[in-house]
């Protein structure tokens, strides 16, 4: 396995003189004065080459181990990510840190038709949507009928239209996120 050795110098090279096998004996003079002889240099090259091969083998084994460990835990990582998101969302919902109008407007974007839509909401969220509808009579929520439904969780809604039902439920969103994470593996 041959590799290219690169040396970076601070200044440009102005002259070069080859010492080994030089006709005027400069290399022989250096080796006689405690310099490096060609046998020692070859031994050092061989040792360095062997060390590089060993390191490359260790790197390859570490990469295999990493890939195996990560692949074995991808599903658990995806599940853990979804559970963390669930806990954060539940805390935000519990604190009332969400905008139900935005959630309803996003669900309305997926409605097949904007006419004759009934939106089922948690009783606590119903008041907010009715207020937003009154504050902006010609806005996105105009003409929507809101119905209180205690079976719908806070920060969730269910749209009923003549062409179908659209659910905007936290668990449904989290399931889609989990599936997307698994597909990304």
Calpha distance 53→117 (Å, rounded): 70
Q: Label residue 40 by pLDDT band (50, 70, 90).
A: confident
Same domain, 66 and 1: yes
Closest C-alpha among 68, 63, 70, 159 to residue 107 = 159
Q: Find the mean pLDDT for residues 48-63.
A: 88
State residue 66's pLDDT score: 84
CATH number at residue 113: 3.30.2320
**Residue 154 pLDDT > 90:** yes
Same domain, 114 and 163: yes
Q: Label residue 21 by pLDDT band (50, 70, 90).
A: low
Domain region containing 126: 98-170
Same domain, 24 and 60: yes
Considering the domain boundaries, does residue 134 fall inside one?
yes
State residue 115's pLDDT score: 82
**Residue 74 pLDDT > 90:** no
Q: Which one has a higher pLDDT value, 16 or 152?
A: 152
Domain C-terminal end among 9, 38, 73: 73
**Residue 146 pLDDT > 60:** yes
Same domain, 114 and 66: no
Q: How many domains does the chain have?
A: 2
Q: Label residue 26 by pLDDT band (50, 70, 90).
A: very low
Closest C-alpha among 168, 179, 81 to residue 129 = 168
């Amino acid at each position: 396995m041959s590799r290219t050795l690169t040396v970076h110098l601070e200044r440009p090279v102005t002259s070069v003189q080859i010492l080994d096998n030089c006709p005027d004996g400069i290399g022989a003079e250096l080796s006689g004065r405690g310099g490096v002889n060609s046998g020692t240099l070859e031994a050092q090259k061989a040792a360095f080459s062997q060390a590089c091969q060993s390191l490359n083998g260790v790197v390859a084994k570490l990469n295999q181990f990493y890939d195996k460990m990560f692949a074995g835990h991808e599903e658990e990582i995806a599940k853990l990510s979804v559970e963390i998101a669930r806990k954060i969302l539940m805390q935000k919902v519990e604190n009332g840190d969400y905008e139900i109008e935005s959630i309803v407007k996003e669900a309305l974007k997926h409605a097949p038709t904007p006419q004759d839509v009934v939106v089922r909401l948690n009783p606590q969220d119903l008041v907010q949507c009715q207020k937003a509808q009154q504050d902006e009579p010609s806005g996105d929520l105009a003409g929507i009928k809101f119905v209180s439904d205690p079976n719908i969780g806070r920060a969730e809604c269910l749209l009923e239209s003549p062409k179908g039902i659209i659910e905007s439920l936290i668990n449904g969103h989290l399931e889609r996120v989990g599936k997307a994470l698994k597909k990304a593996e």
